[in-house]
Chains A and B, each alone.
Chain A
Amino acid sequence: MSTITETPAVAGRSDKPPKLKKGGLNAGEGRRGLMLVAPTLLLLAVVIVYPLVKAVIMSFQKDAGLDPASGLFVEGGPAGLSNYSHWLLQRCATADGGTVSCPPGNSGSQFYSALGVTLFFTVFAVLLETLLGLWFATIMNRDFKGRGLVRAAILVPWAIPTAVTAKLWYFIFAFDGIANRLLGGLGISPQLWTSDPTAAKFAVIIADTWKTAPFMALLILAGLQLVGADVYEAAAIDGASKWQVFTRITLPIIKVPLMVAVLFRTLDTLRIFDLPYILTGGSGGTTTLSMLVVSQIRAGFNSASALSTIIKVIIALAAFLFITFGADVVPKPPRAPARKKGPRRGGAQPTDATDATDATAGTVASSLTTPGA
């Protein structure tokens, strides 16, 4: 799309003289820009920065409760790193003021199992979704009748609220449900889909893949349509094989939209909550990190805050790795001459094309996160 607007916009802007004059049409642009974004920044500061900072502060406080050392009720007080060692090293406080390994069943001892299952879901669900999405997208990129129907069908899983998706699959995976009936037809014995340690993990992955693979396909399809027919014709004339066309032409062109989609699906799955919470309730070892935080909140805000801070660090680390290794999602200032005349009103304005590309990546990203984790 950006190619359409690029030419006229750039032409229209570059030959407009008043921009350089003080008191011209664009006077006060910098101040106006800041004024317009200020309400958004203020609101986000309240709903994101404040909880973020407060959670970190809380994570270094003791939870109110009975002090195991004195047996008295305490209001809290500084906890040092004990909330973190509760999760990361699984140390629990003892009566004599020291620490011991948390007993099995304690929330602290569930940390590594929750971390493991969250990573397991992330790797397998995102991998399955990407492969299926790629496959669906290559099918949909052909010429066929009934495109409207296919697009509508593919948007249905995306539109259904995750809570409803979970209940729907809870019914499908019921012991007497359709999944076990169909498997019975294949001679496979019925599974306890929502409680068996193996089957429950598959149930979560299957339901998550059902919901998100189609939308992944739509995003990849948008990328595929950037490849012009002439490119494929040229490749065909040069005698390229199907595999060569896919690896040498298609993949490099869709790499950016694909990486953006994979990044956002990864971050979404790392914070997965709704689906396993309703579908399995954490049985069969499907308690994810987010579910562990929620179950800890009533036990103590502060230790829960330490765990949610750990999750934030994991997600930030994943985002950092992706962005380092090629997901071009972060809006960057346009390179080159723009900075020459000082930061406020440079002689050359960045072109609309750059803005448009960045913003498009953003739409892809933000629409992906819509359905909720």
Chain B
Amino acid sequence: MATQTASLPAASKADAEASEVSYKSHKGKTTRLYAGLALIVIWGLAPFYWMVVTAFRDVGFTFDTTPWPTHVTLDNFRTAFSTDRGNFFGQALLHSVVIGVLTTLVAMIVGVFAAYALSRLQFRGKYLVLGFILGASMFPGVALVSPLFSLFSSLGWLTGANYQALIIPNISFALPLTVYTLTAFFAEMPWELEESARMDGCTPGQAFRKIMLPLAAPGIFTTAILAFISSWNEFLLSSQFSTKDTQPVTVAIANFAGAQPHQEPYTAVMAAGTIVTIPLIIMVLIFQRAIVSGLTAGGVKG
């Protein structure tokens, strides 16, 4: 508990609150609590664990049900990256990074100004704009497919390396997400500092850049990670608008071909899935901490 208190102040505050709630707990209750917690951990990790164990298991023992790693091999990772069967997983990883980074950059650069205005300024139509952005985040992706498909095919974007055919549709969900998350972060920041800076003679731009931007950095970072993950995980639009030269990992994994037609290369797919997921899990752990620091980064409180 002591180490957690140091790194996660907000979580420890919740702990303290929770400990007061459970002041009546006794032995039987504690056992039930830890049984429940074990169930939650198993729920979250068991299928993921099975994917990783299978990824390291020899292809001849695909359906081995020994719960711990057996017949350990790295062959599946080699198969995943091999291009012999027409799978271009390595390139797909690269495509996903390019699409994710560019989508995130565009959404952040455009969204940060809108979020600032929505959280700080009063202007006509502000709530209409907020409502519109919320509505945009509810918009079904499949509704973009037919109009954009006909537009992109007439522009000739559905062949070759046209990354914009994937980045533009991704903006439709990444930008509303960015604006909403940033607006929430900005609304909780100590804006008195900006007011003081402006009293001291800063222009609005200077006050934002020199005072508020460093304070907003954790929130901006967290939002960028969320936008990147959303783009990295996208499948529907990518499956329609990507070509061999732009195919992201989600599409590559879904279409992974085995040695023979109609033979699912389970172990290689599990290896590919592990490669795609591990960086995300590392990022999510960082992003959790960033949210906590983002909320507690306040300079002045009264």
Residues in A lying within 8 Å of B, measured CB to CB: 1-2, 4-5, 7-9, 12-13, 16, 25, 29-34, 36-37, 39-41, 43-44, 46-48, 50-52, 54-55, 58, 135-136, 139-164, 166-172, 174, 176-178, 181, 210, 213-214, 217, 225, 228-229, 232-233, 236, 264, 267, 270-271, 273-274, 277-278, 289-290, 293-294, 297, 301-302, 304-305, 308-309, 311-312, 315, 319, 329-333, 343-346, 349-350, 352, 355-356, 358-360, 362-363, 365-367, 369-373
B177 pairs with A370, CB closer than 8 A = yes
A367 to B174 Cα, complex, angstroms = 11
B188 near A5: Cβ-Cβ < 8 Å: yes
B190 touches A8 (CB 8 A): yes
Q: Is the CB of B15 within 8 A of A143?
A: yes
The residues of B that contact A178 with a CB separation of less than 8 Å are 50, 65
Query: Which among A43, A156, A344 has the greatest number of chain B C-beta atoms within 10 A?
Result: A156
- Minimum CB–CB distance from A239 to chain B (whole Å) comes to 13
Assess the B277–A373 pair: CB atoms within 8 A: no
Q: Nearest Cβ distance between residue B268 and chain A, in whole angstroms?
A: 11
Instruction: Please name all residues of chain A whose beta carbon is closer than 8 Å to the beta carbon of B117 when the two chains form the complex.
Output: 32-34, 36-37
- Chain A contacts for B148, CB-based, 8 A: 51
Q: Are A159 and B280 in contact (CB under 8 A)?
A: yes
Which of A5, A142, A290, A309 lies in contact with B236, CB distance below 8 A?
A: A290
Contact between A12 and B146, CB atoms less than 8 A apart: no
- Please give me the residue from chain B that is nearest to A263 by CB atom: B138
Which one of B4, B183, B276 has the highest number of Cβ atoms from chain A below 10 Å of its Cβ? B183
Complex Cα–Cα for A21 and B126 (A): 22
In the complex, are the beta carbons of B180 and A12 less than 8 A apart? no
With a CB–CB cut-off of 8 A, which chain A residues contact B172?
44, 47-48
* Complex interface: chain A residues within 8 A of B229 (CB): 159, 370-371
Among residues 133 to 153 in chain B, which have CB atoms less than 8 Å away from a CB atom of chain A?
Answer: 133-134, 136-151
Contact A369/B173 with A359-B184, A359-B187 known, Cβ cut-off 8 Å? yes
Q: A5-B190, A333-B127, A349-B122 are in contact. Are A278 and B65 (CB under 8 A)?
A: no
CB pair B114 A371 closer than 8 Å: no
Least CB distance from A365 to B in Å reads 7
B155 within 8 A of A: no
A229 touches B143 (CB 8 A): no
Asked if B216 is an interface residue, CB under 8 A from chain A, the answer is no
Inter-chain CA distance A177–B240, complex, in Å, is 31
- A40 touching B110 by the CB < 8 A rule? yes
Residues of B within 8 A of A171 (CB): 50-51, 54, 264, 266, 269-270
Closest residue of chain B to A350, judged by CB?
B122
What 9 pairs between A and B have smallest CB-CB spacing? A33-B123, A36-B117, A153-B44, A229-B20, A163-B250, A40-B114, A33-B121, A359-B184, A161-B233
Q: How long is the Cα–Cα vector from A159 to B184 in the complex, in angstroms?
A: 21
B144 is contacted by which of A51, A343, A350, A360 (Cβ under 8 Å)? Answer: A51
Which of these, B21, B125, B204, B256, contacts A141 with CB under 8 Å?
B21
Nearest CB of chain A from residue B49's CB, rounded to whole Å:
9
* A34 and B45 alpha carbons, distance in the complex (Å): 46
- Contact in complex: B192, A9 (CB < 8 Å): yes
Task: Say whether B81 faces chain A, with CB atoms less than 8 Å apart.
Answer: no
Cβ-defined contact, A143 with B40, below 8 A: no
- Residues of A close to B144: CB separation below 8 A: 47-48, 51
Contacts of A54 in B (CB 8 A): 147, 151
Q: CB-CB < 8 A to B300: which residues of A? A: 8
Q: Is the CB of B127 within 8 A of A29?
A: no
Using A32-B204, A301-B150, A362-B183 as known contacts, say yes or no to A142 and B33 having CB atoms under 8 A apart: yes
- For B121, what are the chain A residues with a Cβ–Cβ distance below 8 Å? 29-30, 32-33, 36
A371-B233, A373-B236 given as contacts; is B146 within 8 A of A308 (CB)? yes
Q: Which of B25, B125, B127, B136 contacts A331 (CB 8 A)?
A: B127
Residue of B nearest to A141 (CB): B18
From known contacts A150-B37, A290-B236, A363-B180, infer whether A308 and B133 are also in contact, taking CB-CB under 8 Å. Answer: no
Is the C-beta of B284 less than 8 angstroms from some C-beta in chain A?
yes
Task: For the complex, count residues of B whose C-beta is within 8 A of A.
Answer: 126
**A214-B43 contact in complex given A141-B18, A159-B229, A293-B146, C-beta closer than 8 Å:** yes
Q: CB within 8 A of B273: which of A37, A51, A167, A305? A: A167
B21: chain A residues within 8 A (beta carbon): 141-143, 229, 232
Tell me the nearest residue of chain A to B178, going by C-beta: A366
What residues of A have a CB within 8 angstroms of the CB of B226 in the complex? Answer: 366-367, 370
Produce 1/0 per residue, B6-25, CB < 8 A to A: 00100100110111111011
Q: Is the CB of B43 within 8 A of A273?
A: no
CA distance A367 to B151 in the complex (A): 30
Q: For B20, B40, B277, which residue has the most chain A Cβ atoms within 10 angstroms? A: B40
Determine if A39 and B127 form an interchain contact, defined as CB atoms under 8 angstroms apart.
no
Q: Which residues of B (158-185) have their CB < 8 Å from a CB of A?
A: 168-169, 171-173, 175-177, 179-181, 183-184
- Pick the contact of A356: B4, B45, B47, B187 (CB < 8 A): B187
B17, A52: Cβ atoms under 8 Å? Answer: no
B249-287 CB contact bits vs A (8 Å, 1 = yes)? 111011010000000101001100100110011011100
Which residue on chain A has the smallest CB distance to residue B123? A33
> Could you say which of A145, A166, A365 contacts B137, with CB atoms under 8 Å apart?
A365
Chain A residues with CB under 8 Å of B230's CB are: 369-372
